[in-house]
Homo-oligomer: A and B are copies of this chain.
Amino acid sequence: MTHFADRLLQACESKGAPVCVGIDPVLEKLPAPLRVPGADVHQAADAIRQFVEGVIDAVADLVPCVKFQSACFERYLWPGVEVYHRMIELARQRGLVVIGDAKRGDIGISAEHYAAGNLGDHVLPGSGLGPDALTLNSYLGGDSVQPFIDLSVKQGKGLFALVRTSNPGGDAIQGLALRDGGTVADAVAKLVAQWGDASVGGSGYSLLGAVVGATKPQDALRLRKLMPRQIFLVPGFGAQGGTADDVRACFNPDKRGAIITASRSVLFAFDKKPGDWKRAIADAAVDLKQQVRAILA
């Protein structure tokens, strides 16, 4: 069983760029042939399944990693959740490293249940294998994160804890100044580094990574120092406004340690490019790789 961080970094190397395509399907934005106006939850979930199958097919040979936005599937209740799990399985079969972006967080036995339900449960028949990694919200503290770490160690999985987000309101809590110096996000970063320290792979990176938004290069540089052994999952490139400097700041000097995610700019690339929608998505994935390679060159 290969350590998650080693597996992710190796996939980035073999596919030629540390990028991730975010799969955040939105019913109203599907390619015209897949649209189903007035759909009920079952029809909606099925249309999304067809779209995601196409997306996986378009990008599987091009990128190392995809990230599934749980909210976009949960919206369609249990039919949507079934599509979420089945498409994660398909993506893994196609050789992609798969991140479940569910931002879960709870305490005690609830945290154990979230871990088992979202990262696969090796003791429960028929429970599926789940994504390779999961995003977490660690506001509840270390005992809310530990059950996820324990299961990840056991199953070769990974985690990304929310540290710094790129949305306009992200500062309200994450940016608060602490009495002992630094911000709340800095303190969370130190905790994440500490929680992940016992689970470092051969690559030198922990199975516990961090979500660090790509819109503030000063932040990213500081967080990079506070979390040398965390792989940064960096959303906000492209549609959300992250720049080349923002992205560069997320990597270690050896140009490893981060994975750059783009969602809308790849997923809905067909909006700006008439013709075959799968081709437009594949082209956008290649563009993303080239942009990130250029930034790191």
A interface list, Cβ under 8 A from B? 24, 26, 38-42, 44, 69, 71-72, 74-82, 85, 103-111, 113-114, 116-118, 121, 124-128, 137-144, 162, 165, 167-174, 176-180, 184, 187-188, 191
Contact = CB atoms under 8 A, between A and B. Distances in A.
B167 A144 contact: yes
Contact of A111 (B44, B71, B111, B121): B71
A169 B184 contact: no
21 contacts: A24-B110, A26-B109, A38-B125, A40-B124, A40-B125, A41-B125, A41-B127, A71-B111, A74-B118, A75-B117, A77-B81, A77-B85, A78-B81, A103-B137, A105-B137, A139-B174, A140-B173, A141-B169, A144-B169, A177-B178, A178-B178
Contacts of A105: 103, 137
- Report copies per complex: 2
A80 B113 CA distance: 12
A82 B74 CA distance: 11
Contact of A39 (B125, B177, B178): B125
B165 A127 contact: no
B71 A139 contact: no
Contacts of A26: 109
Contact of A167 (B114, B117, B143, B168): B143
A128 B75 CA distance: 11
B71 A82 contact: no
Given A42-B126, A74-B117, A113-B72, A167 B187 contact: no
A114 B82 CA distance: 16
Given A41-B124, A173-B138, A173-B191, A167 B108 contact: yes
A139 B137 contact: yes
Query: Could you say which of A41, A113, A114, A170 has the most chain B C-beta atoms within 10 Å of its C-beta?
Result: A113
A24 B121 CA distance: 18
Contact of A110 (B72, B76, B78, B128): B72
Contacts of A72: 110, 113
A113 to B, nearest CB: 4
Contacts of A124: 39-41, 44, 75-76
